[in-house]
């Protein structure tokens, strides 16, 4: 009888232990979501920290030192910045960069938008056209530079040969200070237009088709439809393209300039990013190059803030 009573007591005590395991503390749903989000973001955050944030901080710190080619560091405070303020070659490169950006960004914006509108149409083989227009963007700028340097050669280049066959005189495309920068801008438009075309195309495809059908029923023409429907609804995409292309124009193009013109002729294509590269890796002036690089980053931050302000963060508020 005692063994039977003991078994009954054990059976009665077993259900009482189950709720205890259910009450074991654990993560709530909200905390699990935050943990999952953190794990997904960790690779990008780590990459930005290691390859962007830390190098930027080290570059700013390095700008206060004079660094020789043998690795010796000497604290000079604002000496590099004072040197930069009195360096005519640096300010010439900034002027050329300003001209480059002012011409490249609007032309690239308009060409990319036009191509986006074109490839949005239901044309035969439109997928082939999209691929062909996007293809230059995936090619290395070094390869692009070698290709166009061959095409624009004064004597044997295909461009001058075609001009002479048509009865025109050939031009020194890369040897003339008045033409070299224009050639670089045209090549960069050719390289980058496919990428921004795809971005515009994505924005255009997000616009509901019903809006265009209603405009057609109202008798609106292509220009009226673009002005009243396409452009207002494309403003966030336009803001992204404007901001990214401006930053890319200021900070990019080094590979192309190095291969195509090497900053010439007569420093006519020596952009600020190329001049900084020359000072760092050509003359070993790493501290001075860091100071100019920090100043260029500051310029990009200011320009980005101005774009944000003028476009109200991509909304392009017009007071309505």
Residue 316: predicted pLDDT = 57
pLDDT at 69 over 80: no
Torsion angle defined by CA atoms of residues 230, 223, 240 and 213, in that order, rounded to the nearest 10 degrees: 10
- Going from the C-alpha of 119 to that of each of 50, 209, 309, the distances in angstroms are 39, 16, 32
The domains of the chain, with CATH numbers, are 89-311 (1.10.3720.10)
pLDDT at 1 over 80: no
Averaged pLDDT for residues 160-169: 87
pLDDT at 137 over 80: yes
Q: Which residues contact 146 (CB under 8 A, 6 or more apart)?
A: 259
Six-digit token string for 139: 């090619």
pLDDT at 313 over 70: no
Highest mean pLDDT among 2-11, 78-87, 300-309: 78-87
Which DSSP symbol is given to 64?
T
pLDDT at 221 over 80: yes
Query: How far is it, in rounded angstroms, from Cα 80 to Cα 93?
Result: 17
Residues 195, 137 contacting (CB under 8 angstroms): yes
- Going from the C-alpha of 269 to that of each of 108, 221, 250, 254, 255, the distances in angstroms are 19, 43, 13, 10, 12
- Judge if the upstream peptide bond of residue 265 is cis by omega within 30 degrees of 0: yes
Helix (H) or strand (E) holding 65: strand 65-67
Residues 233, 207 contacting (CB under 8 angstroms): yes
pLDDT at 10 over 80: no
CB atoms within 10 A of CB 243: 17
Confidence grade of residue 121 (pLDDT, cut at 50, 70, 90):
confident
Q: Which residues contact 167 (CB under 8 A, 6 or more apart)?
A: none
pLDDT at 86 over 90: yes
The percent of the chain in helix, strand and coil, each rounded to the nearest 5, is 75, 0, 25
Across the strands, what pairs with 73?
Answer: 67
pLDDT at 273 over 60: yes
For the segment 35-62, what is each residue's pLDDT rounded down to a tens digit? Answer: 888 899 898 889 989 888 898 888 889 8
pLDDT at 295 over 50: yes
pLDDT at 24 over 80: no
Residue 147: predicted pLDDT = 93
Residues 252, 176 contacting (CB under 8 angstroms): no
Confidence grade of residue 12 (pLDDT, cut at 50, 70, 90):
low
pLDDT at 119 over 60: yes
Q: Return the higher-pLDDT residue of 312 and 118.
A: 118
Task: Look up the pTM and report it.
Answer: 0.82
Query: Chain-wide mean pLDDT for the chain?
Result: 86
């Amino acid at each position: 009888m005692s063994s039977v009573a003991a078994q009954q007591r054990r059976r009665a005590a077993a259900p009482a232990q189950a709720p205890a395991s259910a009450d074991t503390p654990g993560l709530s749903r909200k905390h699990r979501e935050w943990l999952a989000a953190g794990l997904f973001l960790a690779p990008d955050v780590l990459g930005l920290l290691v390859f962007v944030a830390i190098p930027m901080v080290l570059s700013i710190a390095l700008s206060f030192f004079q660094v020789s080619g043998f690795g010796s560091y000497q604290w000079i405070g604002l000496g590099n910045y004072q040197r930069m303020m009195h360096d005519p070659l640096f300010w010439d490169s900034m002027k050329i960069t300003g001209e480059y950006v002012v011409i490249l960004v609007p032309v690239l914006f308009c060409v990319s938008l036009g191509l986006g509108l074109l490839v949005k149409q239901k044309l035969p083989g439109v997928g082939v056209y999209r691929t062909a227009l996007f293809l230059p963007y995936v090619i290395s700028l070094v390869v692009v530079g070698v290709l166009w340097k061959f095409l624009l050669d004064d004597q044997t280049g295909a461009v001058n040969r075609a001009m002479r066959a048509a009865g025109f005189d050939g031009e020194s495309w890369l040897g003339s200070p008045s033409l070299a920068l224009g050639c670089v801008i045209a090549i960069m438009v050719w390289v980058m237009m496919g990428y921004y075309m795809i971005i515009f195309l994505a924005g255009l495809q997000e616009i509901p088709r019903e809006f265009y059908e209603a405009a057609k029923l109202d008798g609106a023409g292509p220009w009226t439809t673009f002005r009243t429907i396409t452009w207002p609804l494309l403003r966030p995409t336009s803001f992204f393209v404007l901001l990214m292309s401006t930053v890319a124009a200021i900070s990019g193009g080094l590979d192309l300039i190095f291969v195509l013109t090497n900053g010439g002729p007569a420093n006519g294509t020596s952009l600020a990013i190329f001049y900084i590269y020359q000072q760092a890796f050509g003359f070993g002036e790493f501290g001075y190059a860091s100071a100019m690089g920090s100043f260029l980053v500051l310029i990009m931050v200011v320009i980005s803030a101005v774009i944000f302000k003028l476009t109200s963060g991509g909304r392009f508020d017009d007071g309505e």
